[in-house]
Amino acid sequence: MLQLFDHDCNLKIGPEKNFVWAASGAYIQYFNTHRNAIVYGIDSTLQKMGAECRIFRNLNHPGSIVSFSHLFALGHEQDRWQWTDAPFSFGKQAYKAATLAEPEAVNHNSVLTALSHYKWLDKDCGVFQEISFVALDFSHQKTSMSLGVFREF
């Protein structure tokens, strides 16, 4: 059974309370023997602009393999009108391939970048579009585009 715990504890700091310290963590127990523990983050908001910088420390079992990845994002938001976000993430995807006849450590560089835009058409719904690119060493590259509608509840 997959077990997941993911939580953000946010604390606004600074003279104008526009920096958010995100003491965050996640724990994932997969269907097999793999499990991950992850910690990360800091965010800031300046008027309608947002910036995010997060460092992820991932501890993967079996093998006690540690990896780090980083996320930088810029965004511009006008509540209930439009929102644009541009994240860039890079780092390592590391784990022990335990299902092989002779288990071995996997440690690959990964990169993800995207640009998304949400446009409200009413007070609680609108349209969105996103284009993204992801690359994983020795594995795959993927460019994707999404178009859709959203509704807030």
Rounded CA separation 148/138 (Å): 32
**What's the token pair of residue 140?**
């795959």
pLDDT (tens digit per residue) in 78-97: 888 999 999 999 998 877 77
The model's pTM is 0.73
Give how far Cα 127 sits from Cα of 78, 94, 150, 153, Å: 15, 36, 6, 15
| Confidence band for 105, pLDDT divided at 50, 70 and 90 | confident
pLDDT by residue (tens digit) across 45-81? 666 788 888 888 777 777 778 888 888 999 998 888 9
Q: In the chain, what are the domain boundaries?
A: 3-151
Position 38 confidence tier, pLDDT thresholds 50, 70, 90? low
